[in-house]
Structure 1
């Protein structure tokens, strides 16, 4: 029996709060490596390419590849059980990063974090889609993804504070402990809802039971909007993950700041710009998308068009105040894609396929975005070292921005043209 509307409304926001908290911890554990890269590089004597491999590709390879089989389980089993176990695993593995004494050991620990986090995101998207009706999903997913800027900012801030006072190893251990505490609370508080309870019936009104992965792929293959959204988001993620990982090192190197001051500067930009951008993207796509589903692609496209000149200005600025001022708008524009993209994927597959469709989307986004994003910046930085010396990372950032901002904007615009024909209410 369904709960009363009053209880249902109150409880679904409780669920959203707890899932957003888990999402926040997910990104704290994922992004803390960006601010800790400076002491880790000094302690373990790593190159920029090794840092990039550890911070991006090592995490992405298992995170992306295991996301699909875990999502297959989530389309059949209790999603909240999967999310709770995943939270416990990624948090314990984050804590284990603090025990590493070599590049190989830290690389293995980061691989393990990716294994745990593979079970968190796609089941969460699917679960929320059964707590919020279609007209509110963009905003609900925007609130969920607030965990990204909040978690990233807290990871930067707490990571730097812990590192300077207790060492980088303690930072990993203390952050991992938070998720170990949250995991059983999630399991006890969040209930598993009926799948598709808020969606309009399709066909004869009987949902298809347990679709195979082949059926999911065959459903998605003829939908150009899904693939355009996925590859546009992969390009956006290369920028997002790459900049999140390398901006702390860039600010630290180019402006001669302490680790803690660097974290204050970037965490402020991350949380202010990220919260504004995510909520703005969610509200705009829900409001404009009510009249034209193409808005779910056009809103991110416009964001990247606006953000590019400001990102270039930030990379070229010589003084810290100018750099900070120019970085705020790219931070807003650079996350506006998340709620529209994730929400649109939920509407391109029926309820019994949502977790699997989300996992395929995340596989593309993270294998390319997270795996190649940090590596592109780090590899270019090492390549430019002979020509630009200490300024090599600045020119690596400029190169990636000039290529990926226009590409991302074009792909989202093309997706906007196809969404209306592929959309499912």
Structure 2
């Protein structure tokens, strides 16, 4: 049964863009909470006496494992009920769990708190993608999803900029005494400062209107509810299109997320940036290059799709891979800070092309009753492979292949050099099936 508060709203109008901005703010606080770990490598390793590989489990695997596992059941709820209410509950939960990271007293307690952050954030994108697809016509969908995904680059950038400022102050001050909490190390204060503001976004999300569901399919699945069997049947019927797209992008995300997590540390280890300077520099880089890349990818996706190219989004993703590859490989060999920052900037720019349209392609292939669940399947694989394995693969190469913390640049280059071409070949193999799936979905409008 559709929720009672669903409202017919003109598609692609002013209110639709207003709703996207609110959801973008939710994505922003999500990524601030998620990415702040990338700036705290040194302090947390020192406090808990752990290796790069163990730290990567905190930054990536702990978050990704339950983010991925909980994504599909929570998306099933989103496909049947009020998506905005589910998002509001999720923001409250992950904001509290981010704050709990600041109370962690060791590896295990921080690992468990990071799991909690992942469970909360598992709700956001499947529900938000579904809402945005109902707000916008297909000819402007890529740009709308890219604007929503600006929360990734802005949130990641702010995590590093704010974190760089906080870490500089907190680390110089040593221990900090907080009301009701007591004495905490400087790095723990960061989690309180980035976690609590997310609660304010909860109220903004509750104020947007739940759009009426569009693109319902008759026959293959029911309009009043979707059984697990319906969902499985749909996925199997489009298995080649979904498999190649999801696996190819997930492998690419391994490199993208690794660069985002290890970027500040790369500047510190390779070019001796201070922790605060590395955070602020990489944060600005993420916001400028990443935001530009997202908007460019969305504009290209809409332009090519409007020309009648059904696999337009896939072609933009392939362009993203081709553009990023030489620069991520070059990271392993450049020897000056200026060249390092140029390579990082261009790599981040191209890596961001896929941010909004990777999940957007799922929306073009799936009926409304399965949009949340199908995109959650994508996020399940993308986060297990990308977030769960990406940082750990790079850290393992540093620890066990090169045997030196200073070789982080080589590890990033090795991961990107091997994985990106493999991801591109997988997507190329799936293009005919992707074109067919997108064309079939047009009959549901």
For the criterion TM > 0.5, the same-fold answer is yes
Residue of structure 1 in register with 2:211 after alignment? 193
Aligned twin of 1:292: 309
Structure 2 match to 1:78: 82
Deviations 1:91-117 (A, max 9, x none): 110011111121111111111111111
Alpha carbons of structure 1 residues 153 and 215: separation in structure 2 relative to 1, 3 Å: same
Q: How does 1:241-320 map to 2 (within 5 A)?
A: 241-290=257-306, 291-320=308-337
Counterpart-to-counterpart distance in 1, 2:15 and 2:122: 26
Instruction: Tell me the CA shift for residue 422 of structure 1.
Output: 0.6
Cα distance change of structure 1 residues 250 and 184 upon mapping to structure 2, 3 Å threshold: same
Q: How much does 1:209 deviate?
A: 2.1
- After TM superposition, the structure 1 stretch with the greater mean CA deviation from structure 2, 240-249 or 17-26, is 240-249
Correspondence for 2:370 among 346, 350, 353: 353
Name the counterpart of 1:368.
Answer: 385
Distance (whole Å) between structure 2 residues aligned to residue 316 and residue 99 of structure 1: 40
Q: Which residue of 2 aligns with 1:133?
A: 137
**Residue 119 of structure 1 is aligned with which of 92, 109, 123?**
123
Q: Structure 2-normalised TM-score?
A: 0.90
In structure 1, distance between residues paired with 2:364 and 2:9: 26
Equivalent residue for 2:338?
A: 321
Cα deviation, residue 46, structure 1: 1.4
| Compared CA separation, residues 18 and 367, structure 1 to 2 (3 A) | same
Residues 293 and 85 of structure 1: CA distance in aligned 2, closer, same or farther (over 3 Å): same
Alpha-carbon distance in structure 1 between the residues aligned to 2:82 and 2:204 = 16
The worse-fitting range, judged by mean Cα deviation, of 396-405 and 64-73 is 396-405
SS in 1 for 2:135: coil
How many Å apart are 1:385 and its aligned residue?
4.5
Please report how far the alpha carbon of residue 399 of structure 1 lies from its aligned counterpart in structure 2 after TM superposition: 1.5
Deviations 1:282-317 (A, max 9, x none): 111111122211221111112211221122122211
Stretches of structure 2 that go unaligned for 5 or more consecutive residues are 1-5, 171-185
Is contact 2:329–2:414 with CA below 8 Å preserved after alignment?
no
Partner of 1:234: 250
Structure 2 CA distance for aligned equivalents of residues 122 and 204 of structure 1 = 24
Query: Could you say what secondary structure the match of 2:80 adopts?
Result: coil
Q: In the alignment, which residue of structure 1 is the partner of 2:70?
A: 66
CA contact (8 A) 1:63 1:117 kept: yes
- CA distance in structure 1 between the aligned counterparts of 2:60 and 2:219, rounded to whole angstroms: 45
CA distance in 2, matches of 1:180, 1:58: 23
Contact 1:67 1:363 in 2 (8 A): yes
Match of 1:342 in 2: 359
Instruction: Please report how far the alpha carbon of residue 169 of structure 1 lies from its aligned counterpart in structure 2 after TM superposition.
Output: 0.8
CA contact (8 A) 1:57 1:371 kept: yes
- Give the match's secondary structure for 1:316: coil
1:182 matched residue in structure 2:
201
How many residues matched?
418
TM-score by length of 1: 0.94
Is residue 211 from structure 1 mapped to residue 226 from structure 2 by the alignment? yes
Deviation (angstroms), 1:85: 0.4
In structure 2, how many angstroms separate the alpha carbons of the residues matched to 1:415 and 1:138? 20
- d(CA) in 1 for partners of 2:32, 2:125: 14
What secondary structure, in the 3-state scheme, does the structure 1 residue paired with 2:409 have? helix
Report whether the alignment pairs 1:400 with 2:415. Answer: yes
Give the match for residue 28 of structure 2: 24
* 2:190 corresponding residue in structure 1: 171
The CA deviation string for residues 4-51 of structure 1, in whole angstroms up to 9 with x for no partner, is: 749x82221211111000001111100010011121112222100110
Q: 1:352 Cα shift?
A: 1.0
1:221 is aligned to 236
